């Protein structure tokens, strides 16, 4: 039996879609800065890339605050339980129409593999991008009528770290777009991130709460 449950709050959905837009903008302008594509023009690409980066950093600050205030940071605590089964499902089971090894719930939105991947993005990949990006932007900067600089001989290493992290994030986005289609229906995961509601097995909609209580409480407090 399935029950429609309010899984994703309004800020969570806003953060998700704004983050997606910014990542695509950063990727497009980044590729143009590297000379891989030509669309905005080099000077505009640099400007748009920097603006998008600043907005992205502001969004990160708000997201961190929201995660700790709401307790949603607990969603990313890694676990080894069902991890092997989840990996096997994505590699083989999904192509054999096998049942999903884990069930989504309000207090457990991410499967074990998602927890591990998302946590890695949040504490490794994105911080690497942000820090290397800031170092790259402020390697040389105006100060008191002259050009001051960080005590770094070359930006090559910084650029390599920034580019490597960007490619990892791009690879994640590609895989993420595919996995969106692996829900109950090809569009169910997408609809859930738009409306906030998702069809869940009644038995797994809650941990010590009824699904109706969760739906009403979460919508009213959103």
Task: Let me know if residue 174 belongs to a domain.
Answer: yes
- pLDDT reported for residue 214: 47
Task: Let me know if residue 44 belongs to a domain.
Answer: yes
> Residues 114, 119, 120, 122: what is their CA dihedral angle, to the nearest 10 degrees?
130
CATH number at residue 202: 1.20.950.20
Task: Let me know if residue 145 belongs to a domain.
Answer: yes
Task: Let me know if residue 87 belongs to a domain.
Answer: no
- pLDDT reported for residue 153: 66
Task: Let me know if residue 102 belongs to a domain.
Answer: no
Task: Let me know if residue 85 belongs to a domain.
Answer: no
Task: Let me know if residue 83 belongs to a domain.
Answer: no
Structural domain containing residue 144:
2-74+107-221
Instruction: Tell me which residues of the chain have a pLDDT lower than 50.
Output: 1, 142-144, 146-147, 203-217
**Residue 147 Rama label (left phi>0; alpha psi -120 to 50; beta):** beta
pLDDT digits (tens, 9 = 90+) for 115-158: 999 999 999 999 999 999 988 887 765 444 544 556 666 778 88
State the total domains in the chain.
1
Contacts of 201 (CB under 8 A, 6+ apart): 1, 2, 3, 103
Task: Let me know if residue 178 belongs to a domain.
Answer: yes
- pLDDT reported for residue 94: 86
């Amino acid at each position: 039996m399935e029950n429609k449950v309010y899984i994703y709050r309004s800020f969570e959905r806003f953060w998700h879609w704004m983050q997606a837009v910014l990542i695509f903008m950063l990727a497009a302008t980044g590729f143009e800065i590297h000379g891989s594509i030509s669309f905005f023009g080099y000077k505009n690409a640099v400007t748009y890339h920097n603006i998008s980066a600043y907005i992205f950093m502001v969004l990160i600050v708000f997201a961190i605050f929201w995660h700790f205030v709401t307790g949603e940071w607990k969603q990313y605590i890694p676990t080894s339980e069902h991890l092997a089964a989840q990996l096997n499902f994505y590699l083989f089971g999904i192509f054999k129409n096998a049942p999903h090894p884990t069930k989504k719930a309000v207090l457990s939105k991410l499967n074990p593999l998602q927890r591990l991947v998302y946590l890695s993005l949040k504490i490794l990949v994105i911080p690497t991008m942000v820090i290397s990006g800031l170092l790259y932007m402020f390697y040389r900067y105006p100060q008191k009528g002259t050009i001051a600089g960080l005590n770094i001989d070359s930006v090559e290493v910084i650029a390599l770290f920034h580019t490597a992290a960007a490619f990892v994030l791009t690879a994640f986005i590609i895989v993420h777009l595919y996995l969106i289609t692996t829900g109950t229906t090809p569009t169910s995961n997408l609809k859930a991130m738009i409306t906030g509601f998702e069809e869940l097995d009644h038995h797994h909609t809650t941990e010590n709460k009824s699904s109706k209580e969760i739906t009403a409480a979460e919508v009213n407090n959103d």
